[in-house]
């Protein structure tokens, strides 16, 4: 199939491009490079030995979206483009609603005009809000605790309405837990601009002595060691799940939400200690107050992905920590 990858120069999008190309699919990419760089596209070509067409444009640009679908025979869309910082979304909600919601609508309208009705959406475990129990399966109640999460939930609801109105669509909503790590080439990885929001990029910067100390947000949660517990999943495992999802809808008209997680929860302290051990580096940390909006525990029941997509995560926490560290070392040298 030929898959349009929106936000294909981003962290998850770039890893999905690699796995799609490695699986024999063709891709077309667009990105506005707001939170990524064009060099990533060159590295994808170098890693895979395959070439592809890329457009620098914004999903809000209707003419650009029309041009992409007019100039290429697109079979399906894998949609990563969007703003994703929880804290920023609280400061700038209108920017998040406009970009993420209207941008997705622009893409869906272009798809409908060109009768392209296979869509894989980058959703998030954040749509489960603060779950009543763990592990979390896809039947759990949905809610949002911040504008970023609300955009994910609202897009899911839009897609459910779209399928109810026209069941010739094929839609998969992939709910990511906590993506970390990097491709084994260490040529692509998570490269947030500025001060990172997420744990692993922060650990990398402290290990590289680009930041003095890791602040662990709260050690008084009702968890194994008092720090937050999350389901960290290697980004290559996540990317392979996307290939399985797009191949699943090649033959089915359906809408399905599917968790992409390992089913294992690790605390912040477990992550930090594993990272220091496997990489033989120091990560200085202090305990501070809880971060507003954080929840104690969040990890997946991954059974549906195995049953429906024949997919399960293969990589363990040690590999996640190793690949994250080696990526950050190579990125520093670049
Ligand atoms: C993980 C744990 C923090 C930073 C968010 C979004 C989710 C997805 C991933 C986009 C928590 C602790 C973190 C730090 C810390 N985003 N922490 N010090 O909040 O689980 O999920 O990012 O796709 O949708 O909700 O990820 O990495 O920010 O936090 O102690 O400097 O690390 O408290 O327990 P989170 P995170």
Phi, psi for 251 (deg, rounded to 5): -115, 0
Asked whether residue 212 is assigned to any structural domain, the reply reads no
Report pLDDT for 295: 93
**Which structure tokens are listed for 280?**
């033989």
pTM recorded for the entire structure: 0.97
CATH number for 102? 3.40.50.720
Asked whether residue 66 is assigned to any structural domain, the reply reads yes
Report pLDDT for 196: 84
3-class DSSP state of 106? helix
3-class DSSP state of 7? coil
Q: Is the CB of 313 under 6 A from ligand 1?
A: no
Range of the domain at 247: 2-181+233-262+300-314
Phi, psi for 116 (deg, rounded to 5): -105, 115
> Which ligand 1 atom minimizes the distance to the CA of 290?
33
Asked whether residue 111 is assigned to any structural domain, the reply reads yes
Report pLDDT for 80: 98
Round to whole Å and give the CA distance between 274 and 266: 10
Report pLDDT for 293: 87
Asked whether residue 216 is assigned to any structural domain, the reply reads no
Q: Are 84 and 11 in contact (CB under 8 A)?
A: no
- Residue 280 DSSP code: T
Phi, psi for 20 (deg, rounded to 5): -65, -45
Terminal-residue alpha carbon distance, the chain: 34
Round to whole Å and give the CA distance between 324 and 327: 5
Ordered per-residue pLDDT tens for the chain, 334 residues = 999 999 999 999 999 999 999 999 999 999 999 989 999 999 999 999 999 999 999 999 999 999 999 999 999 999 999 999 988 999 999 999 999 999 999 999 999 999 999 999 999 999 999 999 999 999 999 999 899 999 999 999 999 999 999 999 999 999 999 999 999 999 999 987 677 889 999 999 999 999 999 999 999 999 999 999 999 999 999 999 999 999 999 988 999 999 999 999 999 999 999 999 999 999 999 999 999 889 999 999 999 999 999 999 999 999 999 999 999 999 888 7
Cis bond upstream, residue 135 (ω within 30): yes
- Taking CA atoms, 167 is separated from 102, 170, 255, in Å, by 22, 8, 9
What domain count does the chain have? Answer: 1
> Which ligand 1 atom minimizes the distance to the CA of 152?
24
Q: Is the CB of 32 under 6 A from ligand 1?
A: no
Asked whether residue 217 is assigned to any structural domain, the reply reads no
Q: Is the CB of 257 under 6 A from ligand 1?
A: no
- Candidate list 55, 96, 148, 248, residue with the active-site label: 148
Asked whether residue 289 is assigned to any structural domain, the reply reads no
- Nearest residue (by CA) to ligand 1, atom 17, is 199
Q: Is the CB of 198 under 6 A from ligand 1?
A: yes
Round to whole Å and give the CA distance between 266 and 281: 20
Query: For this structure, is 148 an active site residue?
Result: yes
Angle between helix 103-113 and helix 147-165 axes, rounded to 10 deg: 20
What is the largest distance, in Å, between two alpha-carbon atoms of the chain? Answer: 55
Asked whether residue 164 is assigned to any structural domain, the reply reads yes
Asked whether residue 276 is assigned to any structural domain, the reply reads no
Q: Is the CB of 178 under 6 A from ligand 1?
A: yes
């Amino acid at each position: 199939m030929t898959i349009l990858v929106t936000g294909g120069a981003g962290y998850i999008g770039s890893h999905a491009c690699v796995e799609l190309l490695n699986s024999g699919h063709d891709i077309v990419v667009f990105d506005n490079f707001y939170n990524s760089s064009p060099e990533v596209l060159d590295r994808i070509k170098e890693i895979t030995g395959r070439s592809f067409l890329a457009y620098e444009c914004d999903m809000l640009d209707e003419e650009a979206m029309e041009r992409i679908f007019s100039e290429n025979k697109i079979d399906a869309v894998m949609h990563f483009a969007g703003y994703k910082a929880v804290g920023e979304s609280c400061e700038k909600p209108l920017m998040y609603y406009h970009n993420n919601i209207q941008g997705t609508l622009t893409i869906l309208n272009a798809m409908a005009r060109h009768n392209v009705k296979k869509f894989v959406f980058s959703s998030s475990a954040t749509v489960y809000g603060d779950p009543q129990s763990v592990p979390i399966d896809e039947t759990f109640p949905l809610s949002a605790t911040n504008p970023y999460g609300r955009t994910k939930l609202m897009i899911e609801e839009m897609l459910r309405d779209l399928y109810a109105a026209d069941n010739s669509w094929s839609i998969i909503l992939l709910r990511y837990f906590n993506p970390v790590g990097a491709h084994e080439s260490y040529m692509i990885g998570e490269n947030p601009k500025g001060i990172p929001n997420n744990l692993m990029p922060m650990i990398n910067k402290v290990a590289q002595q680009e930041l003095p100390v890791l602040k662990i947000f709260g050690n008084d949660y009702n968890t194994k060691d008092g720090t937050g517990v999350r389901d960290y999943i290697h980004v290559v495992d996540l990317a392979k799940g996307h290939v399985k999802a797009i191949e699943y809808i090649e033959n089915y008209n359906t809408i399905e939400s599917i968790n992409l997680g390992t089913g294992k929860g690790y605390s912040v302290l477990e992550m930090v200690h594993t990272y220091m051990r496997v990489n033989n580096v120091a990560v200085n940390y202090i305990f501070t107050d809880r971060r507003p909006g954080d929840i104690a525990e969040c990890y997946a029941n991954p059974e549906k992905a195995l049953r429906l997509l024949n997919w399960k995560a293969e990589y363990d926490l040690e590999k996640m920590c190793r690949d994250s560290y080696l990526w950050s070392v190579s990125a520093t040298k670049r």
